[in-house]
Structures are given as structure tokens and as C-alpha cells.
Amino acid sequence: MPERVDVRKTYKLFINGEFVRSESGRSYRPDGGINVPRGSRKDLRDAVRAARTAFAGWSGRTAMNRGQILYRTAEMLDGRREQFIAELGGTEPARQEVDAAIETWVWYAGWTDKLSQVAGTVNPVAGPYFNFTIPEPSGVVGIVAPEAPPLLGLVRRLAPALCAGNTVLVVVSEPHPLPGLTLGEVLATSDFPAGTVNVVSGIRRELLPWLASHMDVNAVDVTGCTPEETRQVEELAAANVKRVVHGTSNGMTPDAITAVMEMKTVWHPIGV
């Protein structure tokens, strides 16, 4: 019998719940072999539009339901564990990275219905009123994924933003985009509404100015940016009062959730 022809994987962007090719048709080869879609500013605008449309539905879901969907993501990632290990090099550190990414999804899934109690408060005021501080999602969050570790670094920035009720646009690691693009396939089968998470690959210097200056993006996580890129994002974000988050790809903390949230204060008269 003739040998079976290998079917080479085609990587695509994940926008509005669909896998699409770059609008420009361009690609680049970070490792010299596999073609990776080179997203354009049009792709980025499409992703922002999809995230804005999905925001009301995702943020309006119950905290418990969001937690169930984040946990489902952990299940689906665990089911494709060996594929991710192979994409990360097949080494023991790669195995540990995938296991830590699965654990991250589970950890933040458990925070969705506890966040209001931990981050919110009842404030003492001089008057016949109740005064509450309640955390609310910022809106559309753009995440620049860390270059390393390419999977775990991304998950540790993505999971808290989704836990908080935000919708997200991710620019995956430029030199190591494959784990981020494959994660889009996991997210597509994890019950997220279309547009909740959008994954774009490409050249950062081409995408960052448009991400930072887009009026419909409420916050940008610059954890994966260089100091020079961070300064550029801050300057452009200042023009439209956009929040810039300086995070870390190490560890898990509730502060990563509240960093992409707004604190809303509510006054209510005390009933007789």
C-alpha cells in the first residue's frame, strides 16, 4: 500500500467564533517552516468589533456560568494535552507548562463567584444610606501575550480577564505563536459565546499602534511588550484614557482579575 500523505496543519486566526485567514493573505514563518497568518489592522478591527458585540452577553452571564465555561476550557485543554506538549517541544518543561496552564484555568474558574465578596465592600458613610463598592468588568481588553512561556504566559493573562467578565482580543507571541493559535481551537469548543475571545497572530510593531489607539478598546495588557513598546502603548492610550495593565506571566493572584475591572460605588437609601 502507498504511504499515507501527511496532512499539514493550517493555522488561522480565531475571530468572532470562526477560524479565518488573514484579510491581507499574508503569512510569516517564525521558525522558518510553518506558515503563520500575519494579521492586519483590518483583522484587528474585526476582532475588536466582535469583542464589543459579545461584551453585553458575556458580562451579563451569572458568575457561576462563567466559572463553568472556564472549567470547561480546562477540560478541553487537558484532552489535547499531548498536542500542546508536542508544540512546546515535547520536553519535561513543556509537560509542566501545559499542566500549569490547565491548573490556571481551574483556579480562575473558582474565582468567578467569589470575586464580588472579596473585592467589593460596604463603606461606612455619615448619612442614612448604604454605600457599596462593586467590581465590574472594564469591557474590551487587548492582551499582548508574553513571548515566554508562550502557552502558560498567555493563559495567566487571559483567564483572569475572562473571569472578570471582560471580552478579549489576544495578540499571540510573535516568535512562538503556535500554542496561542491552537488554544483558539480549545476556546472554540469551550462554550464561550462567539466574539468573547479573539486570537490574532502577526507582527507586533504593525498591530500595537492600532490596538492602543482603538477607541473601542477599554484596556491593554502590555505584559508581553518590550519597554519601548510599552511606552508607545502608554502614549497612544493616554489620548483616549485607556487603562494600561502591567502584569506578570508568573503566578496566579486575584489582583490579576481586579486589574482589568472598574470599582463602581452605589448609594442606596436605608429603608424605614
> Which residues, listed in sequence order, are joined to residue 265 by a DSSP beta bridge?
133
Per this entry, what is the length of the chain? 272
pLDDT in tens, 230-261: 999 999 998 888 899 988 767 788 888 998 98
Distance CA 207, CA 144 (A): 10
Distance CA 1, CA 127 (A): 86
pLDDT at 1: 61
Tell me which residues of the chain have a pLDDT lower than 50: none
pLDDT at 123: 82
The domains found in the chain, sorted by start residue, are: 13-269 (3.40.605.10)
Distance CA 202, CA 213 (A): 18
Asked if residues 20 and 194 have their Cβ atoms less than 8 Å apart, the reply is no
Query: What residues have CB less than 8 Å from 109, skipping those under 6 apart?
Result: 67, 68, 70, 71, 73, 74, 163
Per the structure block, which three cell numbers stand in for 12?
Answer: 488561522
pLDDT at 44: 95
pLDDT in tens, 183-213: 999 999 999 999 999 999 999 999 999 999 9
pLDDT at 3: 80
